[in-house]
Each structure stands twice: as C-alpha cells, then as structure tokens.
Structure 1
Amino acid sequence: MQEAFVNINNIPTKVVTVGRWITEKPEKDEDKIILIIPGNPGVTGFYKKFMQILYEKHQCPVWIISHTGHDRNRQKAIEGLFPRPLGLEEQVKQKITFIEEYVPQNANLHIIAHSIGGYMTLELLKEPKIEKRIAQTYLLFPTIEDMIGTTNGKFLYNYIRHIVSVVVFLAWFFTILPKIVSVNLLKFYMFLVNMPANTRDPVMTLIHPKILEQVFYLAYRELEQVNERDNENIKKICTGSIFCMEKMMVGIIRIVAIILRKIFHKSMQRCQSMNILLFFMKMKK
C-alpha cells in the first residue's frame, strides 16, 4: 500500500493505492483499475481495509482519492497553502482532473462510490470525456436526493450548524494536548461506543480544525444542493440495483425496490446478510 499527496489543480490531495502507484506503467495493455470515491468525511484511512479486500479478490490496482482538504498534508515536498474550503463542484473537478491525468486512456476503470461520492459520480458521468472512460460504477449508500429532508440532515442543519465554531475550537484544543493524552482519550471514547480499533488513526486525522472546516463546509453544500434526484441521468446508466441488509430491514427495502422499479423500469436484486446494511446501485455507461 502506497500513499502520498499529489498536486491536483495545484492543491495537495491525498491518494492511496494498492497494487501499483498512479504513475507506474501498467503491466498489460488493458489495465483494470478500481477507483474509490469516498463519502464525507473523505478521509482515506477509513477505506484501507476495504481496499485491501478488493485487491485480494480482484488482483488489480485499487486507488482512492480523498476529498481535497480532508486529509492532513504532511508532505513538505508539495508546495502550496492548505486548501480553502471546497464545495461539491470543486471536489468533482478534482476527480475529473485526477482521472484525466493519472488513469490510462485504455484502462478498464471501475468506480466504487460511497455516500456523497455517489452524487459526485453521477456528476462525473455527465462529462462525456469522463463517461466514455468508465466501464462500471457502483454506488454504496448513495446520497443523491433530499439530503436536508433526512433526520440527520435536519439535525445537522438545524442544530450542529450553530455550533460548528465550537466543534472546531474543541478539535483545535484536542490537537494541542500531549499525544499520549489525546490518544488515550480517543481510545477510551472508542471503547465506550464500540468503534473498531482500526479506525483510530483515521479519526485522529479527522479531529483537526482545518479538516473539520472542510468537512462541515462540504456537508452544508450537500444539504443545499442535493435535493432532486437526477432521474434522467440515472435512467441512462442504471442497469439495476442490489440491496444488501440486515433481516430486520427486508420489509423496508421491498418497498424501496417497488418504487425504484416504477421509476427506472429495471430489475432489482436483493441479498440478505446479518452483518451488512447496504444500498447498492450498479450502473454502467
């Protein structure tokens, strides 16, 4: 696994790869590449285990590009100021530039997008020069409509919005604590809420005032802009949907599947797992 900050549109952006680095030449003419576009926060560390699993299964390069500004820039060789807060359009532009500059023209590109990454992927597919280069897209828990109408969206907009400055200040205070103190505080919190131990480093990355400013800025742009589902765009590229979830959710998903069938006139599949809760849209160009 390799990781570094890469200048994309003159802004340092975190990239992590398994298999081969983005500037290495492919071993064969048609190189299959899996590119992950994260949710918000776009901290790459949350996806490393997932990347490793994908690589072991498919034996092809697996890349992830963070949302610009969502990972700490520790690479002094890259010049430039810490990026100002970037909204949805700017983050999509970063992904377009990355694909144009680093994904080979003849690559068999598969995009896996999580949460708001699903919305960004739909925007990518509106660009003809990008759409023709994508073999398949997979949207995991896609947030593509009515974000402000959700329970979390309402809570974020009506309550958290007013105390963002307090949250950012607390993050700053956390960063100036001795490392042994901050690490143990985080370990204790993770124990209380039963968080996986392998998420400690990504959470440590997230608890930083500059990163939280980026995360909140993007979140509120999402609430403002992700309203109506882009049915026309989805109809052009959707080949079906797969729903995986806990048994207690099966009744709900049946209702959702019926609605989607009526909208998109596509066949739906459903699979059950005791350990997975997943809304998955499989799409192609």
Structure 2
Amino acid sequence: MTSILRKVEWVRVAGKWTKMSVMGLDISDETLKIQKKKENENRVIILMIPGNPGNEGFYAHFGREVLQNLIKKDEDEQKNLKNQYLFYTVSSLNHVRMPDHLKDDGEHRNHDRISLEEQVNHKLSFVKEHLPRGKQLYILGHSIGSYMMLRIIPEVIKEGFHVEKAVGLFPTIVHMANSPNGKRLHGTLATLNHHDWLTKTICWWVDYLPNSIKKFLVGLNLRHPNTPPEIVDAAVELVHMDVFRNIVHMSNDELDIVLDLDERLLEKQDVVHFYYGLKDGWCPVQHGYSMRDRLGEEQVTLDEDNCEHAFVISEGDIMARNVIKYFD
C-alpha cells in the first residue's frame, strides 16, 4: 500500500493561529511552496473544509484513503502518473484549543467565540495564504463546510486558482433549522448560546480532566470497529470548555443563518457538485431531490451506501471510494 505522509502544524491565518494538516507522497518544503504555477506544474491540490466540529483530525483517515484511491486509479488507468496530490485540511478557529505557547501570541484568544461569518472569511484567508498554486484545485466541503466552500469559490477563482470541482458532501446549505436535528436542538443551542455563563457553568470542569480520562469517555461513544484512531484523538481535543462554547456558537449561527437558498452560493454552479445522504438528520434527502431537479444528475449524487452524515467516524473508506469519481 502507498505510504502517505502527514504533517500537522499550527500556522497563522490572517494573524490567527490555526491547526492544519497536509498529506501526500511528498510534503517537503519545496513541494509545498506557494509560488505561482511553475513550469510543468503537476501539483493537484485538494482542500477539505470540515463541518462542525471543525477539527482537521476528523478527516485524516478519509484524506489518506482519498489519496491512496487516486494514486491507485492513476496507476490502473496508466494516466496522470506525474500528478502530485496534496490533501490540505484546515481546522475552524477555536474548534481546537491553541497550545499554551501560542495562546497569547496571535490576534485571538481561546475564549473568543467565532461566528460563522468569521469562519467563512478564515477559510478564504487560508486559501490565499497557505495553498500552493497547483495545476488544479479540488475543494471538498462537509456539512456546513459545504456552505463555506460555496461562499468562497468566487473569490478563490479571482485569486487565480483553477478550481476544477467543488464538492459538497452531505451539504447543509438550506433550511437547517427545519431539519429533524435542527428542530430538536435549536432551542437548546439558542439557550446555551445566549446564556454563555450557563454553558461555562455546565462544562468548566472538563478542562481539568486528564487526557486519559477524556480518551476513556470518548471511547465509550466511539466503539465502532471501523473508527480510526485519529477520530478518537480529534474527539478528545473537543473536550474543552472553550471548544464546546465555539461549537455551540457556530451551530446556533448555522440554524439562524442557513435558511432559504442564497442564490449567490451557486454563482459558480458549473464547478459545483453535491453528494446527499438518504438518512441525513441535518440535510433531508428532499433537499437532494430539489437540487438534482435544478442542477441535474451529473452534478447531484444520492448516496447508495447508507452512509451517515458524520461519515468520517466509521465510513471514511466508503466515502473515499465514492468521491474518486469527481477527479478527472
């Protein structure tokens, strides 16, 4: 099996410390240089924009499988053999707690609550500041990451990136508050968001738990045999008061903001594709039918593998195989 390398680091994005990762066969500094397209450019960049919670670690196994499937496909078909695939994932601001040596250094603090709009701008800044100008850019957005993806596409194209395709996986881009999960959780999220003191009171103590206890508690809820270890590690990083406050704040924003379809989201609809689940509590399949009627079957896929909205937990292998069709 192909050996995929992975590098995780904290970088400044518009002055704010952000956890990101990059994977590929070659992730040397020379390969990752951000310069404009070079002669004989062969870098194919894949950007993963997470859902909520937005920890890059949730997509480590999925990204590795995507790369391995792409490389195998090229070898089997004996084409694109010179392609150099790089899979980037950017965490959302304050969905991972900054380490102690950085927490007072950047332009934000761990206790800051970051809005959905700020997270959108953050993803655009990441593209501008940290993505190489390869020969092609594929963007994958998961859940609310699909909304952020659609918001930034026009500006990304203006920046000179060749966006080949932008794929929304289980996309939450309309009527989130009216979804089954939205109806069930909106009241609770609104209360916790409005009364931030209450949220702090409920969960302040988790910051004092040893990592071993956090891992044990997380493991009780992630017992599927197909759950990769990176998922457990990422989930442990969520067990902090300020991270939970940010998950709540962004979730409430999503339910308040993602209402009727914003037509601006489909401004570049020629590059946009969607993948809808059949049993999605955040994005009912009816949304998929409506989008398929609008864009056609070539651009809208309905899942045939009974995958969950949070597919990365135990179905990353399946989805990695399914998304390969989007890569020409």
Tell me which amino acid in the other structure corresponds to 1:18: M
Alpha-carbon contact 1:146-1:227 (below 8 Å) kept: yes
* 5+ long unaligned stretches in structure 1: none
Look up the match of 2:293: 262
User: Which stretch shows the higher mean deviation, 174-183 or 3-12?
Assistant: 174-183
Tell me which amino acid in the other structure corresponds to 1:40: N
Q: For residue 147 of structure 1, report the CA deviation from its aligned partner.
A: 1.0
Structure 1 position 58 matched with structure 2 position 62: no
* 5+ long unaligned stretches in structure 2: 1-5, 34-39, 72-84, 312-318
The one of 3, 9, 26 aligned to 2:8: 3
CA–CA distance in structure 1, aligned partners of residues 51 and 238 of structure 2: 13
Tell me which amino acid in the other structure corresponds to 1:216: V
Look up the match of 1:134: 163
Alpha-carbon contact 2:167-2:275 (below 8 Å) kept: no
Alpha-carbon contact 2:133-2:161 (below 8 Å) kept: no
Cα offsets for 1:215-272 (capped at 9, x unmatched): 111111111111111346427414685657579xxxx95x666533433355455562
| RMSD of aligned alpha carbons | 3.5
Of all paired residues, the percent bearing the same amino acid is 24
CA–CA distance in structure 1, aligned partners of residues 160 and 265 of structure 2: 12
Q: For residue 66 of structure 1, report the CA deviation from its aligned partner.
A: 0.6
Look up the match of 2:254: 222
Listed as ranges, the matches of 1:21-170 within 5 Å are 21=27, 24-25=30-31, 29-59=41-71, 60-74=85-99, 76=101, 79-80=105-106, 81-82=108-109, 84-127=112-155, 128-130=157-159, 132-163=161-192, 165=196, 166-170=198-202
Listed as ranges, the matches of 1:269-284 within 5 Å are 269-270=301-302, 272-273=304-305
User: Which stretch shows the higher mean deviation, 36-45 or 129-138?
Assistant: 129-138
Tell me which amino acid in the other structure corresponds to 2:174: E
Q: For residue 51 of structure 1, report the CA deviation from its aligned partner.
A: 1.2
User: Which stretch shows the higher mean deviation, 111-120 or 226-235?
Assistant: 226-235
CA–CA distance in structure 1, aligned partners of residues 117 and 276 of structure 2: 30
Q: For residue 111 of structure 1, report the CA deviation from its aligned partner.
A: 0.6
Residue correspondences, number: 278
Tell me which amino acid in the other structure corresponds to 1:158: G
